[in-house]
Amino acid sequence: MFIDTHAHIFMTVTERDISLEDIISELHENQVDTVVDICGSEHELEYHKSVEETFLKNNINFYAAAGIHPQESSNFIDSDISWIAKNKENIIAVGEVGLDFFYDFSPKEIQLKMLRKMIEQTIELQKPILIHGRCGEALIFDMLNEYGFDDKKVLFHCYTGDLETAEKILKKGWNVSFSGILTFKKSADVLEIFNHTSINNMFFETDSPFLAPVPFRGKPNTPGKVRYVYDFAANLLNMKQADLAKQVRENFNKFFNLNI
């Protein structure tokens, strides 16, 4: 019933030591049947392909997206990224890509250069783009406009920017996705953005292994826990979880051009 639009399976398994078995049983327990696995390197994408069958065998739709994370821009700026295009058939989107000026892992100029490369890659592959914007949302918005993204599929994952930029994003018909942050006590800003977002343009995600929702805060996150974000959102909207899940599924199919 539920979809996790953004998780990092390689990191969840290898860095947090959570087994695939546990991830899958938790997905079943929480009625989560679809996961988008965000791969930030060829190695992560190869890992995705190696575990794909395990998910499919367990009736989980398991999709990959691939792109260079802004924090990794310095590490990848001079390396061969042709593996993304080579895997055109294996990915449903380019992402996560964007700008992150909250952390200081890559200089601004390098991040901007990498984002251009990723936007051009998105246009070439004709895929949706999944955006990571931290303290750089307005610049990303401007760059997408510069490239003429009006009729393209854009999803800002785990949006934590300002309301003004969010309104501009939504006005374009682009989308935002909400993570466990929505359930945190001190999330007034994200809550305000949620209240401004039409249910036709919203998605939910875990960003596993990060940002575990209440009541799991501080623990490693897993895709099954996306249900807690849906629960929280359905309450805010005064909707049944199943109705919200159905709407998000429609959004998902439309956005990724799928039929699940």
Residues interacting with Zn ion, by CB under 5 A? 207
**171/165 Cα distance (integer angstroms):** 10
Environment class of 131 (CB within 10 Å of its CB; exposed 0-12, middle 13-18, buried 19+): buried
Query: Is the CB of residue 137 less than 8 Å from the CB of residue 190?
Result: no
Any idea what DSSP says for residue 173?
T
DSSP letters along 189-243, please? HHHHHHHHS-GGGEEE---BTS-PPTTSTTSPP-GGGHHHHHHHHHHHHT--HHH
Smaller CB distance to Zn ion: residue 4 or 207? Answer: 207
Smaller CB distance to Zn ion: residue 37 or 207? Answer: 207
Residue 180 beta carbon to Zn ion: minimum distance, rounded to whole angstroms: 12
Name the residue with the smallest CB distance to Zn ion: 207
Residue 14's identity, in one-letter code, is T
Residue 239 beta carbon to Zn ion: minimum distance, rounded to whole angstroms: 26
Smaller CB distance to Zn ion: residue 65 or 250? Answer: 65
Smaller CB distance to Zn ion: residue 72 or 207? Answer: 207
Residue 253 beta carbon to Zn ion: minimum distance, rounded to whole angstroms: 22
The H-assigned helical ranges of the chain are 9-14, 20-29, 42-57, 73-76, 82-86, 108-125, 137-146, 163-171, 188-196, 226-237, 241-256
Smaller CB distance to Zn ion: residue 131 or 233? Answer: 131
Residue 238 beta carbon to Zn ion: minimum distance, rounded to whole angstroms: 30
Residue 38 beta carbon to Zn ion: minimum distance, rounded to whole angstroms: 5
Smaller CB distance to Zn ion: residue 100 or 207? Answer: 207
Residue 148 beta carbon to Zn ion: minimum distance, rounded to whole angstroms: 26
**189/10 Cα distance (integer angstroms):** 30
C-alpha dihedral, 29 to 43 to 124 to 90, nearest 10°: -50
